Amino acid sequence: MGEKEHPLIPSVLVSDTVPTNPDSYIDVIRPKQSFAYYMMKFKLLSCYLLTSCGVENYLDEEIFKSQRYGVPLTLTLVHVEEDREIILEALSRIYSTMRKLVRSSDKICLLDDQNIISIMPFTPLKGGVAYSRRLLRHIIRIRTPQKANRFPNVFMSVCQISQDIYGSDEAIAKLEFGIQDGIRQSKRISIVD
């Protein structure tokens, strides 16, 4: 971990800006953030170091296992639409809430600066929708410090992996389409076929 790229091993960059070559970094951590933000980031980094793969690689493996062995795999994408000042706090609180609601076999990963994905093996679509509804009920009770009068502005997209999805990029694109559709229609939870 440092403020510049290591020439031999993937690094974690501490910076306020996106690096010019993001492929050589495992992650970028913003300086001067809350303790909860650092706890969330380090949990994600430890997951990366233990499994030696990123979110997309892990998702590719789960999609392959789901299709090969015929077990259901459901994904939930949580998208947070907030001001830059409070989005990290909102993401951190939502991430903590998600961790409490999932099983030990499920994985919660920060996809980017506005999205968290739940990867739920052995879960049919109906189970993913029930999880999303339960999560939304919990999120409604979350209050952000600067805007204590309302809960974070959140949209969710749920899909079950089928035989026509070939990889993580396709699955994530499908979920993102569901988010955009939900925003357009003012639906908090979108189910993507």
Q: All domains of the chain, ordered by start, with CATH?
A: 53-192 (3.30.70.270)
pLDDT (mean) for 19-24: 65
Q: Which of 53-57, 78-82, 109-113, 122-126 has the lowest mean pLDDT?
A: 53-57
Backbone dihedral region for residue 86 (phi beyond 0: left; psi -120 to 50: alpha; all else: beta):
alpha
Instruction: Give the Cα separation of 97 and 139 in Å (integer).
Output: 8
pLDDT at 2: 47
Q: Which of 31-35, 148-152, 155-159 has the lowest mean pLDDT?
A: 148-152
pLDDT (mean) for 85-94: 78
Contact 141, 157 (CB under 8 A): no
Task: Output the six-digit token pair for 142.
Answer: 């979350």
In terms of Cβ atoms closer than 10 Å to its own Cβ (0-12, 13-18, 19+), residue 187 is middle
Encode pLDDT of 94-153 as tens digits: 888 998 999 989 999 888 878 999 999 999 999 999 999 999 999 888 766 655 556 678
The pTM for the full model equals 0.73
Residue 49 predicted with pLDDT over 70: no
16: number of CA atoms within 13 Å, CB side? 4
pLDDT at 64: 94
Between 41 and 166, the more confident residue is 166
> In degrees, to the nearest 5, what angle opens at C-alpha 74 toward C-alphas 121 and 64?
60
